[in-house]
Amino acid sequence: MRLPILILSLIFPVFVLGGGLPASIVKRLHLQPKKVYVIDFFASWCVSCKKEIPQLARLNRSLDHHRYTIIGIDADRKRSDGVKFQAALRKKGALNFRVVNDTGNGIIRTFGPPGMPALYFVKNNAIVGKIIGARSHVASLVRRRLKGL
């Protein structure tokens, strides 16, 4: 029974809503089933991502951290680029959430977003929503979505 599921999960990434995340991703991101996660995919070369991250940082200050957690996934293939980019943002106070450096692109390949920036909402280790592409007021949009989860 497990083999067909494994084959299907290799062919189709978990871009469909309600798609359960593989155990390796859950473990790597330290996801807890009862919490709601906002997973933000970004990279140092993505102009729109640079605009969205400070908005998410502002949102993160007002979130109930017992219920909600924002996790950043840096898709830079060169680790030093990502680390430098994150350090510059943290220095300005524009990044205040945990970031996982996805240099091998294993995490982003699993989610398979059609564009960047990409935000995914994860609850009970499954994708329950997503926002793809640049949004001018992303923080208010995320807040609205979180209220419904």
Summarize as ranges the residues that interact with another protein (CB under 8 A).
Answer: 41, 43, 45-49, 75-77, 105, 108-109, 113-118, 133-134
State the nearest-atom distance from the C-beta of 106 to another protein, in Å: 11
Distance CA 127, CA 36 (A): 10
Task: State the nearest-atom distance from the C-beta of 26 to another protein, in Å.
Answer: 20
Considering the complex, what minimum distance in angstroms separates the CB of residue 46 from another protein?
4
Among residues 28 and 35, whose Cβ is nearest to another protein?
28
Closest-CA residue to 123 (of 19, 34, 48, 44): 34
d(CA 15, CA 103): 20
Q: Which two tokens stand for residue 49?
A: 């991502």
**CB closer to another protein, 22 vs 35:** 22
Those residues whose C-beta lies under 8 Å from the C-beta of residue 146, and which sit 6 or more positions away, are 36, 38, 63, 68, 121
CB of 109: closest distance to another protein in angstroms? Answer: 8
Torsion of CA 139, 141, 147, 149, to 10 degrees: -110
Nearer to another protein, 101 or 124 (CB): 101
When the beta carbons of 108 and 142 are compared against another protein, the nearer one is 108
